Amino acid sequence: MKIVWHLLHLWLFAGLAMGQSPGDLLRIYDHDIPVGEQAGRGTTIVLDILQDQKGYMWFATSKGLIRYDGVRYDHFYRRQQPRSIGGNHVRALLETPDGALFLALADGGMSRYDRYAPGPQSFTNYAHHPYRDNSPSTNALYTITRDPTGILWMGGENSGLIRFDPRTGRFMTYRHQPGNPHSLPDNTLFRICPDPDGTLWIGTRQHGLVRFDPRRAQFTPYPLQDLIPTGYESENGVGPICVGKDARTIWFASYALGLCALDKRTGRIRVHGVGDVIHRKSELTHLLHIAEAPDGVLWLGHTHQGALLYDPLTRLVKRLPLTSQPGTSLEVRCIYFDRTGMAWLATNRGVIQYNPATHGATLGQPGSGKAEPARSALFDRYPVRDQAGRPIPGLAGVQQDRRGDFWLQFPDRLCRYDTARRCITASYAYPAALLRAGLKHIQVVGEQVFLLSFQGLYVLRSPLGQIIPLPLPRHDPGSEALRKADIGDNITPDTLRGEPLLWIGSWEKGLFRYWVNQQYADQVPIGPGQLPDRKVLRVYRDRQGTVWVALDELGLLRLDDKRAFRFTHWLNIPDDPHSLPDNLVFDLTEDHRGTLWLATGGRGIARVRRVSGKVVFDAFGTFPAGPAPP
């Protein structure tokens, strides 16, 4: 989907000029969308957002379904036709791997849109029928999702948990069974969130958070009564749920407690308190959505405060500047990150497109006739000075952490730079051992600052204000090798069976797997199907979790088995135009589509693709300035 950048800051109000009623327009950052007579009058509320496999943006609204291709809008609403959408109030969207789009409706059960079927409106509708066994148990759905086996799950008003198998077309419903502690404790479900382990996390109206194991057909409640303050016992509902990227934390919003985190392993619930009932002025204000950004920051949709950014580590909360009018109330019901990293926010006043990189947003208000662009800039200046106001010379490296602060590498010290206050707030002198080893550069990984040297790896222990060697046991072969290794820009975080680890590449010592909790290292062996050489130039982990290793003049490797260290190895084959173009690969990166690109020593850049299950390489060499490769 192609979106011209300047349209983010430009609004076209042709609809108003032609005399259309402001109440019949849905504002989406650069155009007005007429919603049609049949959809009804009044404010259009956007409830959910989805980008499909082809790049189209879909918006679930209170007046039908809208598809946006970057230029044109297509509006689907209830018509007097046999295959039109089943209802105008669309609450949730889901796309399946075959490209079908499923809709949870507030007034029509479930609808399935088939883009490949003939006709302008190709919907198959599944409405509740009181005299049919094979139908959804309610027409008032709130949520829909899909588990790893392909089964669809839905929930709504007094619906129970609805199971739908797209292959057979059969419905089944799990309901509360009095006297059965393993049954569903509440029949009204606000949110269903799939876990990669195959289970479902369910937010109920009156019985908090519930875990469902489809294999055992067993429900496990996580009661919140002991945590809820006195006088707020009726606020036992749970709305939005988000499975953390660590696959261990379940983030959810309790109406009484606000933002909470459940540790799946221990069953312990930690209350973070954002949006809790005590600190809000009205019982109708609460969190509506939780999304975790790649940097670990939580984006929270709120009923009155718009969108909030919350850092779980520092517990700092920041409100996004989505509107320039002080005191303006904005309701954010969904936050969706597209393939480019752009954030799309579904609100009670249309859709906002927010660029986290430039902190620029544009919001269109129905009936206002103008847009409200947030402040943004291409460049900003951060003066680096000492306490006396003098510039500090010798800046050799810069890294940015999750909080947005900079870490600055100087010849004799490491400094932390507060970007909000625009000053240095902490300084750490290098130990003598690091100066003797020869500091190469710094690298921020998660919340850790690493200092890479010609002889080993150092880490900042910020609570203690000390820079120490990476903790490693004595007399362990892998750890001893890492202790003396020449470390490049090659620290990559990963997990293996839930345990955090680091992949560390070095020159002449090879590749290491460092277990963060146990604090020891395994040196990846050399042999057939494993590493062919120990001169590692680059280690890179892509969005799918695959680890890639580039060697000096020995091609590219993909780590297929992280426990047994099994690799797939690619080398240049002169007669094969789709082989690795050069055996010297300096760097790897992904574009916004998730495509992997290589920087080679003598053949320019190369693109990595999969064709019929086989990895092929497209070499682009060097090319003049102009359009990027297709």
Buried b (16+ CB within 10 A) or exposed e, 150-189: ebbbbbbbebbbbbbeeeeeebebbebeeeeeeebbbbbb
pLDDT attached to residue 611: 82
Nearest to 507 by CA among 438, 413, 430, 582: 438
- Give the three-state DSSP class for 8: helix
More confident: 245 or 104: 104
Average per-residue pLDDT for the chain: 81
CB 336 within 8 A of CB 343: yes
- How many other CB atoms sit within 10 Å of the CB of residue 256? 25
pLDDT attached to residue 495: 87
Q: Does the structure show a pLDDT above 70 at 357?
A: no
pLDDT tier at 59, thresholds 50, 70, 90? very high
Q: Does the structure show a pLDDT above 50 at 242?
A: yes
Write out the DSSP string of 245-302: TTSSEEEEEETTTEEEEEETTT--EEE--TT-STT-SSTT--EEEEEE-TTSPEEEEE
pLDDT attached to residue 197: 92
Q: Does the structure show a pLDDT above 60 at 603?
A: yes
Nearest to 252 by CA among 210, 296, 306, 303: 210
pLDDT attached to residue 7: 26
- Give the three-state DSSP class for 98: coil
pLDDT tier at 622, thresholds 50, 70, 90? low
pLDDT attached to residue 339: 85
Q: Does the structure show a pLDDT above 60 at 20?
A: no
**Strongest mean pLDDT among 161-175, 327-341, 389-403, 587-601:** 161-175
Rounded CA-CA distance 255/507 in Å is 53
pLDDT tier at 612, thresholds 50, 70, 90? confident
- In angstroms and rounded to an integer, the radius of gyration of the C-alpha atoms of the chain is 27
pLDDT tier at 596, thresholds 50, 70, 90? very high
pLDDT attached to residue 566: 94
> Would you state the structure tokens that stand for residue 534, as one six-digit string?
């120990």
Rounded CA-CA distance 63/16 in Å is 19
The residue with tokens 């306490």 is 387
Rounded CA-CA distance 569/366 in Å is 56
Q: Does the structure show a pLDDT above 50 at 107?
A: yes
Least confident of 26-40, 264-278, 517-531: 26-40
CB 456 within 8 A of CB 431: no
Write out the DSSP string of 47-76: EEEEE-TTS-EEEEETTEEEEE-SS-EEEE
CB 251 within 8 A of CB 290: yes
pLDDT tens sequence across 534-581: 899 999 999 888 999 999 889 999 999 999 999 999 999 988 888 999
Q: Does the structure show a pLDDT above 90 at 444?
A: no
More confident: 456 or 212: 212
pLDDT tier at 367, thresholds 50, 70, 90? very low
| Sheet arrangement for strand 510-515 | 486-496, 499-507, 510-515, 520-523
pLDDT tier at 466, thresholds 50, 70, 90? confident
Please determine, looking at this structure, whether the domain spanning 489-630 carries the CATH number 2.130.10.10: yes
Rounded CA-CA distance 402/433 in Å is 29
pLDDT attached to residue 461: 81
pLDDT tier at 104, thresholds 50, 70, 90? very high
Buried b (16+ CB within 10 A) or exposed e, 122-144: ebebbbbeeeeeebbbbbbbbbb
CB 521 within 8 A of CB 478: yes
pLDDT tier at 328, thresholds 50, 70, 90? low
List of E strands, 384-446 = 397-400, 406-409, 413-418, 423-429, 439-445
- Average pLDDT, integer, range 193-212: 95
Rounded CA-CA distance 363/415 in Å is 38
Q: Does the structure show a pLDDT above 50 at 379?
A: no
Rounded CA-CA distance 155/187 in Å is 8
Q: Does the structure show a pLDDT above 80 at 381?
A: no
- Average pLDDT, integer, range 476-498: 86
More confident: 454 or 16: 454
CB 28 within 8 A of CB 350: yes
pLDDT attached to residue 39: 44
CB 427 within 8 A of CB 409: no
pLDDT tier at 192, thresholds 50, 70, 90? very high
Rounded CA-CA distance 397/399 in Å is 7
Indicate if the alpha-carbon torsion angle 41, 44, 45, 49 is positive or negative: positive
Q: Does the structure show a pLDDT above 70 at 333?
A: yes
Q: Does the structure show a pLDDT above 60 at 281?
A: no
pLDDT attached to residue 148: 92
The β-bridge relationship of strands 258-263 and 269-271 is antiparallel
> Would you state the structure tokens that stand for residue 74, as one six-digit string?
């297509």
- Average pLDDT, integer, range 226-236: 77
**Helix, strand, coil fractions of the chain, as percent rounded to 5:** 5, 45, 50
> Which CATH number, 2.80.10, 2.40.10, 3.40.50, 3.30.43, labels domain 383-469?
2.40.10
pLDDT tier at 360, thresholds 50, 70, 90? very low
Rounded CA-CA distance 353/371 in Å is 12
pLDDT attached to residue 565: 94
Least confident of 110-124, 207-221, 542-556: 110-124
Rounded CA-CA distance 372/360 in Å is 10
pLDDT attached to residue 351: 87
pLDDT attached to residue 543: 86
pLDDT attached to residue 523: 93
pLDDT tier at 150, thresholds 50, 70, 90? very high
pLDDT tier at 474, thresholds 50, 70, 90? confident
Q: Does the structure show a pLDDT above 60 at 182?
A: yes
CB 164 within 8 A of CB 170: yes
Rounded CA-CA distance 60/183 in Å is 32
Rounded CA-CA distance 142/62 in Å is 13
CB 121 within 8 A of CB 76: yes
More confident: 282 or 235: 235
- Average pLDDT, integer, range 422-434: 89
Q: Does the structure show a pLDDT above 90 at 329?
A: no
